[in-house]
């Protein structure tokens, strides 16, 4: 059973001074990346700018200190923006604090009860759908500041009403703010292109400076030097954090316990559960991505406990919900971070910035922060993957994807996830029922034992350098963990892997997505991948999605004897 032990306590046994230097440098770089994002995400969520930094400091520290991943970086993320905005609009900040604490408790319970592995039951189509939906609502929510609209009163929390409000106030469009915002957007687009064309030694240094920070510095300096910032004497100028929120406080986060009553707690159970599920999904996805980058394996249940603890303390010290941030975690790995020390340094660095430099943040134009979040929304939307699924996936998967996306945009994540999971379960059961009726699920006749099966792999001669895996049963979103580690186990020096699929009656888009990962792993290890005895439905799904062309038709063999014979031919060619 997986240990409930923080990774920090494991990695410190062989910790070196050289790695400490790398972790410190990486932590500082990640803090620079997190600074503008934390401020922008807080504003988009309907809270004060400083609260985003409090989240990155407090939650980020506890997520690294107690986490089950070596390199996870915690903090506010775009996934929470719409749900936080809705909670604040309806229940105020006290309501958000209560929901965040409840979500933290749910996450700790999930970890202690070893629910980390159950996240696999969230289908890929649902995560893709609500991620794209979040991206649309996040980008749409930035139009007010990007175009410099002046709206009296509060902006509606719901996306359709919000867009109607923006259209109604389109006459207040501020051309100056739009030009500054567009400039910030173009800097973020052009900066990476420029880096790609300069000398690699210079590029290696400049790559550590995020394009969002360059955009913020350039536009802030231009607005302040040119006297374009909005003020009492220049109400039509470019709105800044200072002109919108007043003086930005650079004080340390303080412990604050909110007032709560039973009716409020009851009304916040559903949003709190949604926050917990989102935090679990995003943090564990981030941990999986990080594992692939550093060749490690995270402790999913300990990670959930850390996420829960981080969210509870974030709420108590003036922050908002937090989770593992994939982009910041990847930046940590690329800059040499290999232990939780890097994430803790990131939190301490942000704390020092808050104490010493935070008042300067008041000069940042609101339209610039809107441009930063528009780029965040674009990078997270995954529109290419969305289109690919719509083109090649079975109709049932497309229905779940589109329904989850639409409900996220029109209503909220609570409704989207609930309906999406129920719809996916119903459609999956129908798919399995149809397969059983048409083909049957048994792969041996008359229930004979494997020892009496003439086609049993135990009766075949497997050449040296060949590994055979037989998958039995449907390959779908809840079973992907059974075949994700096909190339991970040690079998000596393997040159050919055969995946035998005579017992697989059906596959879905999540399984195909996982198989693509296996292909990439095999390519990176120079392993030749063969498929044996692929049945009609799986082969049609593979062919429709372009998977057959990716693998090569010659690598799909009729049966195990043919696959073994072909593997010998491949081995002879290598020798």
Per-residue pLDDT tens over the stretch 150-162: 998 888 888 999 9
**Largest Cα–Cα distance of the chain, in whole Å?**
91
507 bridge partner residues: 475
Q: How far apart are CA 504 and CA 485, in angstroms?
A: 18
In contact, 45 and 80? CB cutoff 8 Å: yes
Question: C-alpha angle 308/86/99, rounded to 5°?
Answer: 25
Helices 17-44 and 340-357 pack at an angle, to 10 degrees, of 50
Pairing of strands 323-324, 74-75: antiparallel
Q: How far apart are CA 68 and CA 303, in angstroms?
A: 4
Structure tokens at 336: 């040499």
Per-residue HEC secondary structure of 192-257 comes to HHHHCCCCHHHHHHHCCCCHHHHHHHHHHHHHHHCCCECCCCCCCCECEHHHHHCCCCCCCCCCCC
Per-residue pLDDT tens over the stretch 187-203: 999 999 998 888 777 78
Q: What's 485's DSSP letter? A: T
Q: How far apart are CA 89 and CA 189, in angstroms?
A: 33
pLDDT at residue number 481: 57
Domains and CATH numbers, the chain: 37-379 (no CATH), 383-439 (no CATH), 453-574 (3.30.750.24)
CB atoms within 10 A of CB 352: 12
In contact, 365 and 239? CB cutoff 8 Å: yes
Per-residue pLDDT tens over the stretch 488-505: 554 457 889 888 898 888
Per-residue pLDDT tens over the stretch 330-385: 899 988 999 999 999 999 999 999 998 888 889 999 999 999 999 999 988 989 99
Percent of the chain as helix, strand, coil, to the nearest 5: 70, 5, 25
Which residue carries 């799909």 as its tokens? 556
Above 80 in pLDDT, residue 511? yes
Per-residue pLDDT tens over the stretch 526-554: 889 999 999 999 999 999 999 999 999 99
Average the pLDDT over 76-82 and give the result: 91
Question: How many helices (DSSP H) and strands (DSSP E) are in the chain?
Answer: 24, 6
In contact, 87 and 413? CB cutoff 8 Å: no
pLDDT at residue number 574: 77
In contact, 96 and 87? CB cutoff 8 Å: yes
Q: How far apart are CA 475 and CA 435, in angstroms?
A: 12
437 CB-contact burial (10 Å; exposed 0-12 / middle 13-18 / buried 19+): exposed
In contact, 416 and 407? CB cutoff 8 Å: yes
**In which order are the strands placed within the sheet that holds 528-532?**
466-472, 496-503, 528-532, 556-557
pLDDT at residue number 483: 56
pLDDT at residue number 441: 27
Q: 156: Cβ–Cβ under 8 A, 6 or more apart, which residues? A: 89, 162, 164, 165
Above 80 in pLDDT, residue 118? no
* SS3 state of residue 532: strand
Above 90 in pLDDT, residue 324? yes
Per-residue pLDDT tens over the stretch 130-141: 889 989 999 999
Pairing of strands 528-532, 556-557: parallel
Average the pLDDT over 220-240 and give the result: 93
Above 70 in pLDDT, residue 52? yes
Above 90 in pLDDT, residue 467? no
Q: How far apart are CA 140 and CA 512, in angstroms?
A: 32
In contact, 35 and 241? CB cutoff 8 Å: no
Per-residue HEC secondary structure of 44-75 comes to HCCCCHHHHHHHHHHHHHHHHHHCCCCCCCEE
The DSSP annotation for 260-327 comes to --HHHHHHTHHHHHHHHHHHHHHHHHHHHHHHHHHT----HHHHHHHHHHHHHHHHHTT----EE-HH
Q: How far apart are CA 210 and CA 36, in angstroms?
A: 10
């Amino acid at each position: 059973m997986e240990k409930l032990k923080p990774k920090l306590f494991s990695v410190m046994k062989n910790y070196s001074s050289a790695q400490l230097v790398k972790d410190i440098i990486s932590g500082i770089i990640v803090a620079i990346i997190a600074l503008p994002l934390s401020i922008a995400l807080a504003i988009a969520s309907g809270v004060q700018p400083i609260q985003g930094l409090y989240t990155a400091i407090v939650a980020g520290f506890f997520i690294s200190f107690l986490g089950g991943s070596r390199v996870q970086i915690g903090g506010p993320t775009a996934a929470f923006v719409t749900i936080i905005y809705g909670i604040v609009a309806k229940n105020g900040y006290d309501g958000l604090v209560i929901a965040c604490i409840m979500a933290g408790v749910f996450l700790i319970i999930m970890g202690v009860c070893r629910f980390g592995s159950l996240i696999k039951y969230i289908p890929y189509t649902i995560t893709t759908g609500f991620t794209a939906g979040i991206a649309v609502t996040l980008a749409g929510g930035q139009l007010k500041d990007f175009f410099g609209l002046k709206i009296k009163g509060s902006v509606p929390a719901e996306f359709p009403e919000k867009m109607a409000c923006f259209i109604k106030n389109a006459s207040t469009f501020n051309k100056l703010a739009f030009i500054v915002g567009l400039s910030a957007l173009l800097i973020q687009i052009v900066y990476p292109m420029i880096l790609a064309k300069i000398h690699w030694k210079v590029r290696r240094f400049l790559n550590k400076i995020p394009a969002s920070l360059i955009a913020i510095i350039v536009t802030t300096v231009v607005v302040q030097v040119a006297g374009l910032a909005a003020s009492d004497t220049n109400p039509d100028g470019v709105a800044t954090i200072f002109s919108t929120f007043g003086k930005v406080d650079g004080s340390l986060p303080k412990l604050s316990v909110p007032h709560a009553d039973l009716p409020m707690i009851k009304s916040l159970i559903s949003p709190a559960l949604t926050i917990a599920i989102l935090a679990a999904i995003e943090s564990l996805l981030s941990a999986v991505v990080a594992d692939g980058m550093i060749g490690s394996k995270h402790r999913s249940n300990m990670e959930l406990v850390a996420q829960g603890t981080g969210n509870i303390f974030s709420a108590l010290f003036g922050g908002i919900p937090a989770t593992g941030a994939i982009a910041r975690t990847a930046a940590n790995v690329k800059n040499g971070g290999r232990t939780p020390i890097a994430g803790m340094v990131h939190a301490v660095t942000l704390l020092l910035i808050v104490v010493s430099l935070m008042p300067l943040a008041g000069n940042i134009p609101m339209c610039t922060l809107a441009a930063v979040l528009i780029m965040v929304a674009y990078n997270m939307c995954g529109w290419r993957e969305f289109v690919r699924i719509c083109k090649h996936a079975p109709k049932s998967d497309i229905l779940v994807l589109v329904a989850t996306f639409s409900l996220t945009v029109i209503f909220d994540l609570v409704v989207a996830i609930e309906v999406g999971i129920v719809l996916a379960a119903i459609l999956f059961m129908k798919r399995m029922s149809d397969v059983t009726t048409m083909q049957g699920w048994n792969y041996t006749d008359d229930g004979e034992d494997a020892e009496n099966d003439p086609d049993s792999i135990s009766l075949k001669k497997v050449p040296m350098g060949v590994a055979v895996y037989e998958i039995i049963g449907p390959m779908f979103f809840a079973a992907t963990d059974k075949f994700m580690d096909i190339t991970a186990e040690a079998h000596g020096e393997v040159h050919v892997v055969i995946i035998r699929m005579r017992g697989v009656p059906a596959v879905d888009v999540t399984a195909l997505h996982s198989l693509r990962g296996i292909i990439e792993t095999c390519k990176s290890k120079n392993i030749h991948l063969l498929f044996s005895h692929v049945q009609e439905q799986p082969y049609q799904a593979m062919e429709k999605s372009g998977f057959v062309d990716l693998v090569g038709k010659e690598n799909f063999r009729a049966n195990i004897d043919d696959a073994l014979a072909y593997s010998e031919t491949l081995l002879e060619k290598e020798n």
